[in-house]
Structure 1
Amino acid sequence: MNYAERALRTLSAGNRTLLRAEDETSLLQEMCRVIVELGRYRMAWVGFAEQDEGKTLRPVAHRGFEDGFFDIAHFTWAEGEGGPTAQAVRTGKPAVVQDIKTVAAPHLPIAITEAIDRGYGSVAAFPLLVEGRVAGNLTIFAAEPDAFNEQECALLGEMADDLGFGIGTLRMRARHREAEETIRHMAYFDTLTGLPNRTSLQQELTSAIEAVHAAHNPLALLIIKIGHFQEISDTLGYEEADLLVREMARRLSQLAGEGQSVARAGEDEFALALPNTSAEVAIRLAQRIMREVCDPVPLGPLTVDPHAYIGVAMFPGHGNTADAILRRAKIAAVQAKRTAAKFALYQGTADQECTRRLALMSDLRSAIDKNELLLYCQPKVSISSGEVCGAEALVRWQHAQHGMIATGEFIALAERAGLIMPLTRWVLETAFRQSHTWFEQGIRQPLSVNLSAQDLRDPHLVDRISSLFATWAMPPEMMQFELTESALMEDPVGALKTLQRLKALGVDLFIDDFGTGYSSLSYLQKLPVDSLKIDQSFVASMLTNAGSAVIVRSTVELGHNLGLGVVAEGVESEAQWDSLRALGCDTAQGHFVGFPIPTEQFVDWEAHCQWRHRPPAGDTTLATAH
């Protein structure tokens, strides 16, 4: 027999097997079959070297005349094991026994006897090198002694190397598939609950909408929000909050049952899409969820009542796309908070208002960047003398499409959009420029600017104001700053430090809306402020409400006792003016004194106003304020 030709034929068939292999098990089995059936060897087997204490060789594939062979002994590659297979694994080199009958292995007499009985004449063992290390063996038995000459061993060794490379390639592919599956799972499933995530939900919802649309059927989407979730998380910690989320996910999945997929749509939100479901059925399910899913949940030492808010949106009634249905179901969940039932079917007005609000946020950012806002001012007048004694800077927004936007609305928009500090910067720069213009015109009236709680937290606020004084060479008495009592109370310690730095610039400071922020007298004494401004809500009702009258009188007395000036906001009538004068209030501001006007009109207003010529109280020739 031409052994080299046999080995070459086996190698060629083995290469074809490698090219067609799809998985490791079938590759090893097919390679053993090729060796025996095409190479006409007596038996072939592949083992993997375990790293256990006994250094086990674990057979994983075999072919040929081997019935019972792998039951005769424990195969090992441990030191002291003299067989060719163990030697090949230990050394990483081929080991050949040309005549099994001559093997001197007293510790394996059964194996030798079994090999002879099976007609094994010679054996060649080759190490399997997988990814740079010996992973196991390829052992081939021939019926004839002296079957494995040098050339045949070289060809079979090449086949063993190819097999090791093939195993490594298949394992690498398997790892890639596992990694891809892990990435895919992470992309489409929530790691905490194992539920489909928002991305998966949108895809499934899109497919479901297409299916029900083709069949002319409806679809309902429920968004279930966990109530007080942030409060629970802040109080008990993230781990307990995660336990709550997992428990709610379990309950919702159990209630939904087979064929209905619950998804985690947000940190505290779940979604349940219901194809071929009417609004009536969806509402009944929402009621059932409120009954069965919202039972108390034990979280550590506490038992938490997981309130839920459920919003329902319908296809096609509330939208034709997955994004539209999702968005409107979320809006409905927010609407549900204001209902006794805690679930709601989407109502369109809130969505329209939300769209308008988002558009206005974008427009406001643009208006700030492009200097399209307007600076107005409202005069302040000394009650005792009738002299104008300054003005408060007010920002206004004339929208190109919507006209003049209410101040309260766009200030709220600025807070939601994170635009308070950019808005304050615009007001500061514009107010300083305007105050400098007045100063150049001989107008010596201070202009006051409002600062918010967010502004007080800005570490660059005082430096920015100091730079503006340097830029415009303004005397500090020409600029004043107003801070609401509630803003000061958000961070009393930080606010005090900021006010001390502002006061060091030489400016006057006012506490605005005094009486609404619950500051203590001890804290008030520490503040380096010059005046209190009585909130307009108290001034407006001081003549009709005894409580408001007491607050106004007490504030005037308190301010004077602390050596502070007192300003009354919202003065709307002569009767209020006279009452404030009788109480000794220092300054008035409001529509009775003067409406807010564009700052460029202030000079003309002051020149023509009649407050400085105001007659004493009781004179019937009272002049009218412009």
Structure 2
Amino acid sequence: MTLRQRYLKWRQANSVADAVALMPKAFVVRLDANIEQRNPSATIALLAISLARSDRLEAILDEAGSAAVQEELLRRVRSVLRENDYVAVASSDEVWVALTQLSSPAIADLAATNLIRTLEKPIPDCDPVVTVRPVIGVALCGHIGGSATRMLKAALGAQQEARAANRRYCVAATGTEIGELSRTVMVALQSALAQNRLSLVYQPKVDLQTGQVAGVEALVRWPADARSGWTPTLLVDTAEKYGMIGELTRFVLHTALREYVTVLAAAGVGILWVNLSASMLNEPGLPALLQQAANVWGVGCDQIGLEVTESTLLNDAELSIKTLHALAKLGFSLAIDDFGTGYSSLLYLRRFPLVELKIDKLFVEHMASSVVDAQIVRAVIDLAHNFKLKVVAEGAEDEATLAILRQMGCDQVQGYVYSRPLPADELARWVNRRTAPD
């Protein structure tokens, strides 16, 4: 039974207005009552969740299919919540969640992380497959004050801040207030950096025509003893938020170059790719920093690639253009990561000195079963080739997807169909096994 059929059966047996969620006004009234009755030692959180791609549903699904998707998303939200928590549908692409009687503000951070993981999983029972990219703003009653309206405004503001910074969620706070989990994560990251306990893994980028490894992307990871649920995204977001991104970037750069020189280069992994954050791209001394690191390890700038997200480039396009041209002049290869998830500008694309685009895995993972996603991938490949750029598809997990990408003329693939991210020595062995004669 498809998702649409299950929804129609459910709709016959239920009152949609009563069963789906609270109306926004009723949500606010209930939240005000919870705030008034709150135990002073407890915390209440409001999460404003933007479903970034749900605004496409009406265009690609019929009415019943669109409603089925919305109900599935609500089911996923509820699966994360506790018995006394509740939810409201504010609009077709906005959901509000109230978390009541929290023993610690840290629970709100963990709830946001769990909601993101749950909501971003594709909904495959539709035609086409539907995916969303949630962005969450979090407001805590103890930080904001005793009013549902004030909490809602703060949560929506935090949501906008998260979107502007290309982060998955953001907690609204005043002055120097930091949530318990945020403080714990910040201290843990400071300690890990000071003790050199972070690590890197590398995911190969494979040329679809030759089967050779054309490059590897360096990805930072928490220490093995970090708390369960602490993601690499949380690591990078914390570094950005609390002024440690420069130190983190230097750690990643020097560690990656050291492992490239001592392990990876001999295996023939091609170009070493490193991610650049939004704030680092705005640093005037970035080109000199990168060249100095390359010189220290004896690696040519032409062996180093730098990835920046599309939204990062468009935050300050003129400054991005100036910085990227300076980096290109030094010989670094430049790529746009997660292409297609921001607001692409052909004018900017023409002005950036890029060598490749990476198609976000959001579009690649289910292109074999989604006509719409396949059309998007084909359009990006054709667009990139018109600009003389190579195309890397992220998130390919099966041979069917590889066959489609190959037929479309995609240049490289980065995904579990080839390899998960591996430590340097494991990746070198993986490459050597692929290149060893039979």
Which residue number corresponds to residue 198 of structure 2?
373
| Aligned partner of 2:373 among 545, 548, 561 | 548
Aligned match of 2:293: 468
> Residue in 2 aligned with 1:415?
240
In the TM superposition, residue 591 of structure 1 has moved relative to its aligned partner by 0.7
1:351-500 paired onto structure 2 within 5 Å: 354-398=179-223, 400=225, 402=227, 405-438=230-263, 441=266, 443=268, 445-500=270-325
Instruction: Report the counterpart of residue 572 of structure 1 in structure 2.
Output: 397
The answer to whether structure 1 residue 330 and structure 2 residue 155 are counterparts is no
- Normalization by structure 1: what TM-score? 0.43
Counterpart Cα distance in 2 of 1:419 and 1:334: 34
SS of residue paired to 1:405? coil
The answer as to whether partners of 2:200 and 2:252 remain within 8 angstroms in 1 is: yes
Contact 1:396 1:405 in 2 (8 A): no
Q: 1: distance between equivalents of 2:387 and 2:337?
A: 16
Cα 1:404–1:312 change in 2 (3 A) is closer
Structure 1 residues 329 and 437, CA, compared in 2 at 3 Å: closer, same or farther?
same
Per-residue CA deviation, residues 122-167 of structure 1 (Å, 9 max, x unaligned), is xxxxxxxxxxxxxxxxxxxxxxxxxxxxxxxxxxxxxxxxxxxxxx
* Cα 1:510/1:358, change in 2 over 3 Å: same
- CA distance in 1 between partners of 2:329 and 2:429 (Å): 33
Per-residue deviation, residues 398-447 of structure 1 (Å, max 9, x unmatched)? 25352573112222222222222221111111111122224663635211
Whether the 8 Å contact between 2:328 and 2:353 is mirrored in structure 1 is: yes
> Equivalents in 2 of 1:445, 1:334: separation in Å?
56
C-alpha contact (below 8 Å) 1:397/1:404 kept by paired residues: no
Asked if 1 retains the 8 angstrom alpha-carbon contact of 2:396 and 2:414, the reply is yes
Distance in 2 (alpha carbons) for counterparts of 1:371 and 1:337: 42
Q: Relative to 1, partners in 2 of residues 1:521 and 1:448: Cα closer, same or farther, differing over 3 Å?
A: same
Query: In the aligned structure 2, how far is the partner of 1:440 from the partner of 1:551?
Result: 35
Give the Cα separation in 2 of the matches to 1:607 and 1:581.
24
| Aligned residue type for 1:559 | A
Higher RCO (Cα < 8 Å, 6 or more apart): 2
Partners in 1 of 2:435 and 2:221 — Cα distance?
A: 26
Q: Distance in 2 between matches of 1:580 and 1:479?
A: 26
Amino acid at match of 1:430: T
Identity %: 36
Distance 1:334 1:550 in 2: 46
Task: State the match for 2:423 in structure 1.
Answer: 598
TM-score normalised to structure 2 length:
0.60
Residues 359 and 385 of structure 1, relative CA distance in 2, 3 Å threshold: same
Letter of the 1:437 partner, please give it.
Answer: T
Instruction: Judge conservation of contact 1:386–1:611 (CA < 8 Å) in 2.
Output: no
Measure how far apart 1:545 and its partner are: 2.5
**How far apart in 2 are the matches of 1:612 and 1:594?**
20
Match of 2:385 in 1: 560
Q: Secondary structure at the match of 2:308?
A: strand
Deviation for aligned residue 1:369:
2.1
Query: Pairwise CA RMSD of aligned residues?
Result: 3.6
Please say which structure displays the higher CA radius of gyration: 1
Please state how far the C-alpha of 1:610 moved relative to its aligned partner: 7.0
Q: For each residue in 1:180-226, what CA deviation from the matched residue of structure 2 results, as whole angstroms up to 9, or x when unmatched?
A: xxxxxxxxxxxxxxxxxxxxxxxxxxxxxxxxxxxxxx9979x9xxx
SS in 2 for 1:455: helix
Summarize the Cα distance change of 1:418–1:581 in structure 2 as closer, same or farther, 3 Å threshold. Answer: same
Give the Cα separation in 2 of the matches to 1:576 and 1:334.
Answer: 50
After superposition, the Cα gap between the structure-2 partners of 1:329 and 1:483, relative to the gap in structure 1 and judged at 3 Å, is closer
Do the aligned residues in 2 keep the contact of 1:385 with 1:612 (CA within 8 Å)?
Answer: no
Match runs of 1:60-209 below 5 Å = none
Distance, in Å, in 1 between the alignment partners of 2:276 and 2:39 is 50
CA distance in 1, matches of 2:418, 2:437: 11
Distance in structure 2 (CA, Å) of the matches to 1:581 and 1:312? 50
SS of equivalent residue, structure 1 residue 594: coil
Once the two structures are TM-superposed, the CA of residue 547 in structure 1 deviates from its matched residue by: 2.2
CA separation of 1:418/1:593 partners in 2, compared to 1, >3 Å: closer, same or farther?
same
Give the drift of 1:328: 6.4
Q: Does the aligned pair in 1 maintain the 2:216–2:269 contact within 8 Å?
A: no
Does the 8 Å CA contact 2:213/2:268 hold for their aligned counterparts?
no
Mapped partners of 1:603, 1:363: distance in 2: 30
Shift of 1:339: 6.2
- Give the SS at the match of 1:597: coil
Residues 493 and 219 of structure 1: is their aligned pair in 2 closer, same or farther, counting only changes over 3 Å? closer
The residue that corresponds to 2:31 in the other structure is none
| Structure 2: distance between partners of 1:612 and 1:332 | 68
Label 1:403 to 1:557 Cα distance change in 2 as closer, same or farther (>3 A). Answer: same
Q: Tell me, yes or no, if the aligned pair for 1:462 and 1:498 is still in contact at 8 Å.
A: yes
- Answer yes or no: is 1:508 the counterpart of 2:321: no
- Tell me which residue corresponds to 1:517: 342
